Structure 1
Amino acid sequence: MSEQNRTIRHEAEQNRYVLEVDGQEAGFASYVPSEGVRDFDHTVVDPAFRGQGLSSPLIKFALDDTREQNLKIRPSCSAVEHFLNKNEDYRDLAV
């Protein structure tokens, strides 16, 4: 699978970021918004797409977009917490 077949978009009205692979929804990262903070509470990669390293680009995109909006995060989801532990340049986003 090549990266050009991946797209990630923010579905703000559903409070989630969606990853598509070849036009199919492969996963999402959802959050609960509150006063300047997005509580990332759930990250899911569809079983058909697991093992392809898709959660990291999805979380990275979501955190980069959150940073651009001058918001902070709460990593309630273990996948987001794991990402922060491995990528110290994102730790400043956490409250």
Structure 2
Amino acid sequence: MATEVRNNTALERFELTADGQPAGYIEYQDTGDERALVHTEIYSAFEGRGLANTLIKAALDASRDEGFSVLPMCPVVLHFISTHPDYIAYVPQRARELFGLPQ
């Protein structure tokens, strides 16, 4: 399955397509140099294929590349970061305790 993630800045969300079809999105809100990832949605026809991980990884990497630190407000994003320790550094030091992440 071919996937693509694009940042739709007008709607403040990363959008995932799978084989050219809309498959899901992550909504975000930017404040200064922080990006709060607030909601993740994978459409029911695409559930169970690991696409949430594909979308989250792309959103985290793009946010970091754009100079943002990340606030994982969405529980799915927080779980991803908790289980992928390389991404903990994307969360500002001051916010890690708030999200239950290691310092």
When the two structures are superposed, what TM-score results if normalisation uses the length of structure 2?
Answer: 0.85
Which residue of structure 1 aligns with residue 50 of structure 2?
53
Which residue of structure 2 aligns with residue 68 of structure 1?
65
**4+ long deviations beyond 4 Å:** none
Give 1:28's aligned amino acid: Y
Which residue of structure 2 aligns with residue 14 of structure 1?
11
> Equivalent residue of 1:13, what SS?
coil
- RMSD of Structure 2 on Structure 1 (CA): 0.9
5+ long unaligned stretches in structure 1: none
Of 39, 42, 45, 2:39 maps to 42
Aligned residues: 92
5+ long unaligned stretches in structure 2: 93-103
Report the structure, 1 or 2, having the larger helix content: 1
Percentage of matched positions with identical amino acids: 34
When the two structures are superposed, what TM-score results if normalisation uses the length of structure 1?
Answer: 0.92
Question: Shift of residue 9 of structure 1?
Answer: 0.8
Deviations 1:17-70 (A, max 9, x none): 110012211000110110111100000000111000000010100110111112
